[in-house]
Structure 1
Amino acid sequence: MKIPTPSRATKAPWEFDFCIYNGIIDKTSPDFLAFKQHFHLAWGSIFSLLEHIEKFLKDYAIPEVKIKGNSLVTLLPEFELKNRLTRYDLLSVIEDPVHIQMMLNVPGQRYKGQDGKLEAVIKIQATWKCYRARQFFLAYRKQKWASGVIAIAWLLHCHKTRLRKILMESRQRHLENFRIRAKHLAANWNRIRTSRRTIIHIPSLGYSQPVRKHIADMDTQQNMQLGRLCDIFDDNVSVIYICSHHMDDELLLYYHKILSLQAAVKSGNPEARSDLQDRFKVITPEAVNIFTEPALVKISEELAGILAQHAQPVNEKRFPTWRKFLQTFLSQGGVIEAFPPAGSVTNLTVDMLIEPNGVIRILSTGDQFHADGPLISSGTTLPQTSVDPQVLHSMCLQIGNACKMRDVVGYFSIDLVTFIDPVTMEQQVWATDLDLSYSDQLALTQLTLYLTNGHLDCGLSTFEVPRFVPKKEKMSRLEILAMPDRQGTVFIFFEHLKRDKLGMLTIGEDLQGVLVTFARNLFIIHQEISSPNMQGETNFKTTIGDVETILGVTEENKIRFEEEQQSKDNKTLPEPDK
């Protein structure tokens, strides 16, 4: 049905525009006839294009459009090439494309035209089938991903199981070889110990990697084990020390001079020195900053259980929480606070060497005495504050047996705490720590033995240094006693870069003299390294004050000891005859 339209302005005859109403071309209209007459040579292609335009307009129920003839003819080459009409092509030949575009964008416009219901049904079916297919695809993809994960996990499990089996077999072979070598070492240890041998020492504190990462100057702390060089005290021993950082020639020369004093110590002649450069070597690996440091073998938890057996319970009524003491002691903190102020607490560190045959050799002991002021000056007689030898022997025996069963050898450091109950006067012992390492206390002890040619009796807690007796036919006792003893000060340097840590070992005839020398050395060092504006309170001044306090305590203890000895002597004197 033709819809009348208002008359419009007259167009030029060469534009050849015509209208299409409801998707049907009025083939009798003058505009269309003029258009057909002008382009009759290409009418076949134009007719096909017009059919596509009519179908498109019917599908979308467009009531009226005006076709620009020239634009239609311009579209022919592209239409002949593609043989299809797009929405953009339609809009390019329409006079008012914006209005038509708005109609095409109306939702559901397609289903208002011809075969609209059929197209709607087809669209609904296609959408539903697409949705079902999409859901099936997602489920299939999820299952495929899950099956892939399961397959990879199974393959990794099989690979891990196979690798674990290979590692277990390899580990078992290594353990068997180690046990064979350990048994051979234990069987021949007495011969090896007295034969020419070389000791390779790798300094390590035995800490795990996470702990080492948070320790400042870890290399310097490990290098405090330099005392291992003193093992050349045995003429059959040579030492190779693997240093964790480079030591310059000046520092090496210093240790060469210290270790060369052994001959002078034995002979009593300060000028007599021996060249021991062939007896020890200090080596720093070139790749020390690339490879992680080797860790020492860790003791099993059973050894901790052995130590726990010596944590003897105290009076439950006075100390109901004694079972928590071990947990407190594990951190080395709060040891004094855990006990009543009326008691006496002694920290004792015992260094020992477990040999391949399970024999334990006590190498050094160090005491740090702590007690409250009134108890020291009260004159109360207390039991021996060091560890009972039987208790220490029993503990060492159990540790030695456990290590022998597991073929564990090496240096051990055990921290012990003794508590004296002021009421019962009983001594109780706790083992608070067990380290498999070469401690700095042991290093200084070995250096002391090396430089004095002395003898340390850990059972009696005595250190004896023989006096030098020259080879003279006749010599009085007074002349022998007047001979100078082995005494002096030795400094231990650990690195040459920061130079902020050093050890000082002072050797003398009595404790008071050694402490005085120690304090004087600290004061001299403080004066040398401090500027005029640094003469106030420093760690040197604090340490000197602590040493002076200890000097006062030792003098008081000395006076008390002399009074007790005099009292005992008076009691033993015979009574006069009546």
Structure 2
Amino acid sequence: MMALVPTSNRNSNGDNPNAEKVCDILQEIRDEFRTIRTFVSKQPQSNNNNVDVNNLSEMLARAEHTVKERTDDVLNMLNGNTVTTLTFNQLRGGRQPTQDGSMFDQFNQYQQYRDGANGISRDKIYNSRQRHNEGMPIVSIGAQQQRLVAPGAVARLEYEAKILRNPFNKRNRQLLHDNYGIQLPIIERQQRNSLSKNLLSGKTTEPVGILPLKSRRNPIDYPVPLTSDDAKRGIISLVERGIIPQGAHITLEPPPIQPKKSSLNDPALRARTYVREEPTTSVYHLEPPNIKQLAITDKTLSSPPLIDHISSGTLTEPSEKDLNLLFAPNKHYESTTLESRKSSANQTLKGSLIATNSGGIGSLVGRPLPTPASNFEYKKTFRLIIQNGSTKDQTEDFLQFRQFYCLMWGSIVTVLRILEKLMHDYAIPVAFINGEKVSELAQTIEFEHKPTLEELLSTLINRDEVEELIKKPGRRFFGSGGKERAAIAIQSFWRCFRDRRAYIRLRKRKWAAGVIALTWLTHVKLSKVRRQLKIIRNRQVDVFKTKQNELRRKWSSISTNRRVIVHIPSLGLSHRIRRKLNNLPVRENYQIGRLCDLDDSNVDIIYVSPMSINEEILQYYNKLMNLRSSIEQNTEQGSSSTVLNTSERFMIVVPEALHSFPMHNMCLATLLKYSPRALKRIKNLIKGRDAYIVTGVSHADDLYIAEYLDIPIFGCEPEVSYLYSTKSGSKRIFEASKVPVPFGEYDIYNQQHLLESLAQLIVEHLDVQRWLFKIDDDFDGLGIAYCDVVTYLPCYKNVLKEAARFGDKWSNRWAQEHSYAKILSELPDVLEQHTICVNKTEYNNWQDYLKVFLAQGGIVEAYPPSDSVTAITVCLSIEPDGHHTIICSGDHLHAESQFSCWGLSFPQSSVESHELNLYCAQIVEQCKQRDIYGYVDIDFVTFIDAKTDKQQIWVVDLSIGYSEHVSLSRVTRFVTTGHFDPQTHLFTTKVKQAKRLRNWQGSAPEYNTVERNRYAVWSSRLHHSNLSVLHYSVFFQMCRAHGVGFDIREQQGSVFTLLECDRHENIGMITIGDTLQNTLSNFAYNLNAINQEITTASMKGRSNFILAINDIENILGITQENASNGSTAMTTS
């Protein structure tokens, strides 16, 4: 059944008066029917006549509907008009404002009537009418519209528009030419060449290579490299050849088909039918100038419930809900109508509202112009509900959501099932789900991604409430089946705990077994390596002893003939000491004066340098070596042959591994061991010549070098050297030599032994004020600590009284027992609080020092009980044949510490020489018995004994190895051509002195050679941080400006030893003079001049110059005092 609304149109000429008259008559009939129906509906009703009134209203409605159908038929017959149908689904979308002013009055009357009517019966009738009329098409002809184009012309124009939109129509070309003057080009169809009947045989593609046999048999082999030709053949070719495995998952990036959300209609309207409208837009995007579009009303369509109700023909009125839908603003359809108006270039016409029977509510039904499909995508926020773990699938939002996302509904169902399970497990009453976020999460499900709890909660609208319930402890056991889940959880947790405990126990056992196995394997391998090393060391020791015996037999001939001395100034100290020394290479290079062994014309020198040597330092030592010939000839320059000879007699070798181990602080012997090129070079230099090695402090790697070079070592075995260089080892030699030593105890390895021995020493020697503690294997006084025990011991005065009371019997142990017990009880606190460590950077307190002292072993000895103590060092050489020679002797100069030798004044002048020689001879005899050969330094201290008022000497230390004092004495002897007398300890040089001539003698002056005593003060430990800013050339010019230099004629002055080429902070200096006082004064003057030149108020730097100057001034004061006392004694006598 169709509801027709007549629409009057003009003919092709614009005039149709008969049709207008018929339309007016029919409109008046319909108005009368509406008035009658309205009047009937306003009559008061009662229960008796209610049925009659309803029947009358239905009869009027059917009559009105019949008149309306006949009106449309008449119009169609007269005008030949086409009927266009619209469904209710097309009319539900929009609402147009009415222009009829009485429409609002009618609705007010309807509202008053509805308030007193029975709502339930009206709703039932309305719903039944809506279901009956749903989908019924409506034709809008609009009797009150403006008549634009005749109906026949409209049909003809629409037909032509269809032809224009179809480029394949036969009349398309002619119609474009007639209406728009467009002549389309004629495209002739290309004639195809007939196929040849002769078939060509052969291959049309080139054969492709196959995989190598190795790759075919071993799929996990390295992939075959691809060429550009292989890539051009495509993926299928690669799969067929086997380069890409058959089961490989191939993904194209970017994919050839991009997924995109489809634009769907409203799901609520999916069951309704639409009349397909052909678009009026031409495929050529042309708009005919003479085509007039169909009229469209300026009012929006009324809501579907009201339209259904009106078109049903019943006299029941719409409900309040329908009226609200009618007048409620609909922004979505208003915007759609606005876009439709703009797309049609605002070519719209206003329509009229067709009224029904009197008392009914009119509606405006308009038909929009057929326009192209809009790009608008229908989309809204879908609100889904999960209540008690089940999704409400009958809600309007759910149905629309399912229709909108029908293409990916499978993934969405998966997400919804997960959400349902989550809500069911945690007994969530109600959860509101955001459909858009569910769809986004469903896309990740498609890629086999399991959503996390955070992602699931992100889809909830009421997330805060749901999350609070989920995070509540035990919430998952509140729902149905909670007890079963709790039991499962308890069982699973218990099984997890049990299995994990068993697994941890198993893992610990496996770990322990692995550790035991690894430790055992490591032990086995280390034992094997130790055995191999022991064999190698034994072999090296055997080779060393063999070469030593050979050197002992041939020493008389080797020492007088041409020979090569390989100097390796290595400090083979223990690793514990070397890792604490920051300037180990500089300390090793203190001995660079070994080059001055060239004073013997039969000696060639190979010096292994512990530091890099640049051209400037090499040039300086070349000049220094050539200075010897100038001194001998008493001229400024030597002969060219002598210069050439000297420059060829020494060679400096720098190991290539010098900077390979910066963090290990290795000694030079170890670095040379790991420098095969340097070893090979040295071996080539000494090939076929007599040679031997002179080391510094012996190290085990010296044996390797000697074995590789196949030459002997001028020294003793490293183990022997280490044993007797310790403080306790030297005490054994001194005891066997029967030389005077300080009171003390050695080989102390526990605290009880230390305290008992110190308490006994204090009781026996009450006159000793200070006691020294020395670690066995320490170096250069760094392991010394001292304590003035007598000053801080509370019971000391009582002990003195006890000793005075016992008198001569005090030496008995029974007399000392009480005092010994008191001292032993008080001694720990005194040592803890009042012990001072020399090396404060390493040992902060007594406990730190004591820990190392007891671990390494040490000695306790008395400090000389005097205010004036002088330390002396005697350097000896014990030759392989047993002869020994005193090379030099000197008094100590101190700077940083009074227990460390900073420099020497040469020769010594504090003790009678024959007494020193006697002690040295006794010590040398014991050294030879213990196979100690080479260079040895013996330290003495001398002081005036307060009891006897006589000078006393103690032997305090023994150092085995080549020292810096030996090297500096070589430089002194080299530049002065002097001679040291070991018997008298005097250093003399031969100086040419001019004879005195008479006035009448005018010939050239004659010179006599006379011997003069010379004194020297040297130190290789001059340190100033500001020296690094000066080049050596600038430094020498500065010294020359201050008169610091060497006089070749007088053989007096100062000579420097350059140690490093990088930082220049360390330097050595030797000052030579005719008297000890002048030499000390010149040395202090040189230090002061250099310090003033390189020090400013803003850049003082770090230096030991001032400390050395202060010590020299103290020595000068004591010397002058002794000289004045000596002269006074001689005058008195």
Q: Is the 8 A contact 2:592 2:967 kept in 1?
A: yes
Counterpart in the other structure of 1:503: 1068
Q: Is the 8 A contact 2:993 2:1010 kept in 1?
A: no
Distance 1:225 1:335, change over 3 A: farther
Q: Is the 8 A contact 1:387 1:418 kept in 2?
A: no
Counterpart in the other structure of 2:1054: 490
Counterpart in the other structure of 1:395: 923
Distance 1:206 1:359, change over 3 A: farther
Counterpart in the other structure of 2:418: 88
Q: Is the 8 A contact 1:360 1:396 kept in 2?
A: yes
TM-score (norm 2): 0.36
CA offset at residue 368 of structure 1?
Answer: 3.7
Report the 3-state secondary structure (helix = DSSP H, G, I; strand = E; otherwise coil) of the residue aligned with 1:288.
coil
Counterpart in the other structure of 2:722: 300
The residue identity in structure 2 corresponding to 1:99 is P
Q: 1:48-63 maps to which residues of 2 (within 5 A)?
A: none
CA distance in 1, matches of 2:418, 2:943: 100
Distance 1:441 1:133, change over 3 A: closer
The residue identity in structure 2 corresponding to 1:294 is L
Report the 3-state secondary structure (helix = DSSP H, G, I; strand = E; otherwise coil) of the residue aligned with 2:941.
strand
1:246 to 599, 612, 625: 612
CA distance in 1, matches of 2:652, 2:917: 38
The structure with the largest alpha-carbon Rg is 2
Distance 1:126 1:211, change over 3 A: closer
Q: 1:274-289 maps to which residues of 2 (within 5 A)?
A: 274-275=642-643, 276-289=646-659
Q: Is the 8 A contact 2:872 2:890 kept in 1?
A: yes
Q: Is the 8 A contact 1:228 1:446 kept in 2?
A: yes
Report the 3-state secondary structure (helix = DSSP H, G, I; strand = E; otherwise coil) of the residue aligned with 2:970.
helix
Counterpart in the other structure of 1:168: 534
CA distance in 2, matches of 1:121, 1:282: 86
Q: 1:122-521 maps to which residues of 2 (within 5 A)?
A: 131-208=497-574, 211-212=577-578, 214-215=580-581, 217-273=583-639, 274-275=642-643, 276-291=646-661, 292-295=666-669, 296-297=697-698, 299-304=721-726, 305-309=728-732, 310=734, 311-313=741-743, 317-319=764-766, 324-325=771-772, 327=774, 331=782, 339=863, 342=866, 344-357=868-881, 359-368=883-892, 384=912, 388-402=916-930, 404=931, 409-425=933-949, 428-468=952-992, 480=1008, 486-494=1050-1058, 495-515=1060-1080, 517-518=1082-1083, 521=1086
CA distance in 2, matches of 1:121, 1:515: 98
Distance 1:426 1:503, change over 3 A: same
CA distance in 1, matches of 2:420, 2:1113: 108
CA distance in 1, matches of 2:542, 2:1112: 53
CA offset at residue 235 of structure 1?
Answer: 1.2
Q: Is the 8 A contact 1:455 1:465 kept in 2?
A: yes
Structure 2 regions of 5+ residues with no counterpart?
Answer: 1-122, 129-387, 432-465, 670-696, 700-720, 735-740, 745-760, 789-861, 899-909, 995-1005, 1013-1048
Distance 1:240 1:106, change over 3 A: closer
Of structures 1 and 2, the one scoring higher in RCO (CA 8 A, sep 6+) is 1
Counterpart in the other structure of 2:352: none
CA distance in 2, matches of 1:177, 1:279: 29
Counterpart in the other structure of 2:362: none
Report the 3-state secondary structure (helix = DSSP H, G, I; strand = E; otherwise coil) of the residue aligned with 2:595.
helix
> What does the per-residue CA deviation read over 1:96-134, in whole Å, with 9 as the maximum and x for residues that have no partner?
x9528899965265557xxx88x9888876765555444
> What does the per-residue CA deviation read over 1:21-68, in whole Å, with 9 as the maximum and x for residues that have no partner?
xxxxxxxxxxxxxxxxxxxxxxxxxxxxxxxxxxxxxxxxx9999875
Query: Does 526-535 or 508-517 show the bigger shift?
Result: 526-535
The residue identity in structure 2 corresponding to 1:366 is G
Counterpart in the other structure of 1:38: none
CA distance in 1, matches of 2:1062, 2:390: 96
CA offset at residue 237 of structure 1?
Answer: 0.5
CA distance in 2, matches of 1:530, 1:93: 84
Q: Is the 8 A contact 1:187 1:357 kept in 2?
A: yes
The residue identity in structure 2 corresponding to 1:489 is G
Report the 3-state secondary structure (helix = DSSP H, G, I; strand = E; otherwise coil) of the residue aligned with 1:136.
helix
CA distance in 2, matches of 1:539, 1:80: 88
Q: Is the 8 A contact 2:893 2:1108 kept in 1?
A: no
CA offset at residue 346 of structure 1?
Answer: 2.0
Q: Is the 8 A contact 1:345 1:369 kept in 2?
A: no
Q: Is the 8 A contact 1:343 1:421 kept in 2?
A: no
CA offset at residue 397 of structure 1?
Answer: 2.2
Q: Is the 8 A contact 2:877 2:887 kept in 1?
A: yes
Distance 1:360 1:400, change over 3 A: farther
Counterpart in the other structure of 2:1040: none
CA distance in 1, matches of 2:929, 2:608: 30
Q: 1:18-37 maps to which residues of 2 (within 5 A)?
A: none
Counterpart in the other structure of 1:41: none
RMSD (Å), alpha carbons: 5.3
CA distance in 2, matches of 1:198, 1:67: 106
The residue identity in structure 2 corresponding to 1:180 is T
CA offset at residue 414 of structure 1?
Answer: 3.0
CA distance in 1, matches of 2:614, 2:948: 57
CA offset at residue 239 of structure 1?
Answer: 0.8
> What does the per-residue CA deviation read over 1:217-275, in whole Å, with 9 as the maximum and x for residues that have no partner?
54443322121111111111011222233333333223222222323434445544531
Q: Is the 8 A contact 2:607 2:650 kept in 1?
A: yes
Distance 1:107 1:172, change over 3 A: same
CA distance in 2, matches of 1:454, 1:356: 25
CA offset at residue 285 of structure 1?
Answer: 3.5
Q: Is the 8 A contact 1:306 1:399 kept in 2?
A: no
Counterpart in the other structure of 2:203: none
CA distance in 2, matches of 1:458, 1:131: 86
Q: Is the 8 A contact 1:251 1:496 kept in 2?
A: yes
The alignment covers a number of residue pairs equal to 486
The residue identity in structure 2 corresponding to 1:395 is I
CA offset at residue 347 of structure 1?
Answer: 0.3
CA distance in 2, matches of 1:435, 1:287: 28
CA distance in 1, matches of 2:500, 2:510: 15
Distance 1:255 1:130, change over 3 A: closer
CA distance in 2, matches of 1:530, 1:165: 58
Distance 1:564 1:307, change over 3 A: farther
> What does the per-residue CA deviation read over 1:370-405, in whole Å, with 9 as the maximum and x for residues that have no partner?
99xxxxxxxxxx985996433222223223332x1x
